[in-house]
Structure 1
């Protein structure tokens, strides 16, 4: 009989090298279409401090003017970078024309002065006698100059005024640094809470009740309240607040209505929010906060500008190979060896930095795959004139693949293949 075949043993285990993970693909951000489209009426740039919002705002405004739009850029940042980059000595609360030779459109720029904006509102919505009474009130002077939330509310007022004038077909807003940049979204609710608060209702009770009969009705409770608050705030401050609130009482409804109208304007078609960040962990964490907040408020988000990136001159030579080549060049010696080795090491450092920036960008895209991205290389120096702004504008609005290395502008380095 033939021998039985020995039972087959377990098949040898296959050792497969895991496939590399492909990089998350960010959506392209077409800023050229955004600013040239006549449907776009307002662009709000927001982000952490020191990421280049002001320069981004100015560059987009310049590009829009050179594309034929009538543009005004409003900065809420008190720094003078916007004026300097536009060739102006200073900016104030009124739009100033910027001379852009050869541009078919117009460019204006201004910086929010919250006290002057508040003063203008008082004058516009009060009788001359009432306006004078309000403007000279010590509590009003403090409120209009430094009270928490006044800047954000006045930004809403100024934006509403610019939009209502119909003088410009595009408004670009450069917001304050850090998370307070989105505090103006809360301005209508904060104003309503302030106006409807217990202290305001008590302070305005005599005026609202009207006449001596009203005073008899509220005097007992109001006097008790006054004595308590006087001990805390001081009698003179309480009198200043009461006089201010009484004088301003007729304007409260208008404040609330205009702030609410501007808030709704920010949610309507034609408005876009643009988040600006640098490829640093803190800045991208802030960018994530802005994206989440805008999504919660149902505000229209255009995308993320990843500013001050460091793409290498070529992506064909990796950092490891560049370091190895530098060592070989030095070992071989010869004329120019040290210079060549130094150039290779600079490239290796640039590739290492670009890889780090790309990892951070990929992490953001993995968390927010719906957010379009545009990377902008770091400028060689500070942007302080129109020529520098044009260079940045080209980086912001140029074709997606038109880069020295051919890497799409959604990325710093080419995408890894799976």
Structure 2
């Protein structure tokens, strides 16, 4: 027995001033970036002061918003004069954000030593979880400024989106690791580390990287360790904020098997973490425009092709075939959605019909926002 999902009312979520953060997560290639931008635009049109933060580099976002290349500083988007709210957009620059953190939490001398360190310049920003950790830091910065009453976050694709949640824990675990403690060991020269306390694996690493790089790593660790408490404390505060009322996670997907499997994975994980889930935005759906079944449309087309011989009949036959194709696609999409809703009956859903044009400017974004905030669209209503 199929489960009819509750309809996701994104208009109410975006208009509710008690909601301060909307996090869009989902698989790659499902329209997550444009969905986040459309939500941010609509919230601004509701009179809110909004910043959309993209972690996954997306030139399309800047193009659609009509701004220059996005950077680490929020850039205001020019909206129509009648819009009472504001929209700002930015793209995370991981290195610049890391630099800002070092300067903020370290004294001038220690900060400069870290910034000049070769290991920091070439390796540190590539550590697992660093990008997501910096995203958490940037989100915390935006919220602490009280300049925006809503921040919409566009996360990286696929399961990396959940790294956004794991970042404080993962980077913290690394800094609690045996390797970190070895590099931090007071009073030991790098040579003694390599020949004494370090394992065979560390010796091999030293051979590959060279003793100078290992020395730089040790110096980096020793300089950074004194300031990391501030890093972790702030990230933990931001993480806690994401669990509070006022944050809404929106899973973005498409009506495709792989994308909906990823969506189920996200829903399960968010539930395990106690994160507030708003619902599922199902992009690029193909709802039928009338109730004529696909089978009857095909029968009608065949009748016209065999019994009629006119331009009008040919046109009617072509239209019936288009409808039949769309109806079959809609049936397949509804079947796929049924699997998702069967496993996740508590998750509200909004279907967003596929647009007949690219989302490349504000008008197109506004059209997409109309679909996202029109409760009852697409598959969610068709069921």
Match of 1:188 among 168, 174, 197: 168
What does residue 206 of structure 2 align with? 230
Q: Does 1:92 align with 2:71?
A: yes
Match of 2:157 among 177, 180, 184: 177
Q: Does 1:289 align with 2:265?
A: yes
1:55-95 superposed Cα distances (whole Å, 9 cap, x missing partner)? 11011101000100000000001121111110112100000
- Tell me, which stretches of 5 or more residues in structure 2 are unaligned? none
Task: Report if aligned partners of 2:350, 2:380 keep a CA contact under 8 Å in 1.
Answer: no
| Structure 1 pair 339–410 and aligned structure 2 pair: CA distance change class (3 A) | closer
Q: Number of aligned pairs?
A: 377
What does residue 328 of structure 1 align with? 303
Task: Report if aligned partners of 1:188, 1:259 keep a CA contact under 8 Å in 2.
Answer: yes
Counting only pairs closer than 5 Å after superposition, residues 5-84 of structure 1 correspond to structure 2 as 21=1, 23-84=2-63
| Structure 1 pair 52–119 and aligned structure 2 pair: CA distance change class (3 A) | same
Counting only pairs closer than 5 Å after superposition, residues 193-208 of structure 1 correspond to structure 2 as 193-206=173-186
Q: Does 1:118 align with 2:98?
A: yes
Q: Does 1:131 align with 2:111?
A: yes
Alpha-carbon distance in 1 for matches of 2:351, 2:72: 32
- Tell me, which stretches of 5 or more residues in structure 1 are unaligned? 1-20, 207-213, 401-407
What does residue 235 of structure 2 align with? 259
Q: CA deviation at 1:222?
A: 7.1
Task: Report if aligned partners of 1:118, 1:144 keep a CA contact under 8 Å in 2.
Answer: no
Q: Does 1:165 align with 2:137?
A: no
Alpha-carbon distance in 2 for matches of 1:75, 1:204: 35
Alpha-carbon distance in 2 for matches of 1:53, 1:186: 20
Structure whose alpha-carbon radius of gyration is higher: 1
More helix by share: 2
Q: Does 1:394 align with 2:370?
A: yes
Q: Does 1:245 align with 2:201?
A: no
| Structure 1 pair 222–325 and aligned structure 2 pair: CA distance change class (3 A) | closer
Q: CA deviation at 1:221?
A: 6.6
Alpha-carbon distance in 1 for matches of 2:227, 2:188: 22
Alpha-carbon distance in 1 for matches of 2:356, 2:208: 55
Q: CA deviation at 1:413?
A: 6.8
Task: Report if aligned partners of 1:143, 1:150 keep a CA contact under 8 Å in 2.
Answer: no
TM-score, reference length from structure 1: 0.87
Match of 1:354 among 307, 316, 330: 330
Q: CA deviation at 1:223?
A: 5.0
Alpha-carbon distance in 2 for matches of 1:104, 1:144: 43
TM-score, reference length from structure 2: 0.94
